[in-house]
Structure 1
Amino acid sequence: MKNNYLLAIVLLSLGVTCLLIQGATSKVADNGLLVEPFFFLVPISYLLFFSGIGVLLFGFITSKLKKSNR
C-alpha cells in the first residue's frame, strides 16, 4: 500500500515540477510574442498530475473495499 502512495506522490511531484519549469522559462519577446521553449511540458504535466490522482483514488478505493470485506 505504501508503494501506491509513493508512486502517487512521485507522479504529482513530477507534474508540478514540469509546470514550474515551463512557467519559469516563458518570456515575452520585444515584439510582444510569448516565447515558451518548453511548451510540451504542459500536457506532460497534466498527464502526470492526473495519473497521480488516479493512483491515489485507486489505492483509496481498494483499501476501503478490502476493509469492508473483512
Structure 2
Amino acid sequence: MLKKYLLSVFPIVLGIACLTIHATNSSISQDEFLVEPFFFLVPISYLLFTIGIVSILLVTVRRRKQR
C-alpha cells in the first residue's frame, strides 16, 4: 500500500526539484535582462504536479472501491 502512494508522490517531488533548479539559476544580465537558462523546467514541473495529483486521486478512489 505504501508503494502505491510512494509512486504517486514521486512526480510531485520531482516537480518541486524542477522549480527549485529553475529558481536558483535565474539571474539578471549586464543589460538588465532576466536570464533563465532552465525555463523549460517550469512546464515540466506543472506536468509532474498534475501527474502526481491525478495518480494520488486514482489510488485513493481505487482503494475506497475495494472496501
Report the TM-score when normalising by structure 1. Answer: 0.88
Matched pairs, number:
67
Question: Unaligned 5+ residue runs, structure 1?
Answer: none
Identity of aligned residues (%): 43
Whole-angstrom distance in 1 between the partners of 2:4 and 2:42:
24
Aligned to 1:23: 23
Opposite residue 31 of structure 2, the aligned amino acid is: N
Aligned to 2:38: 38
Whole-angstrom distance in 1 between the partners of 2:42 and 2:60:
27
The 8 Å contact of residues 4 and 55 in structure 1, kept in 2 or not, is answered as: no
Aligned to 1:59: 59
Question: Unaligned 5+ residue runs, structure 2?
Answer: none
Report the TM-score when normalising by structure 2. Answer: 0.91
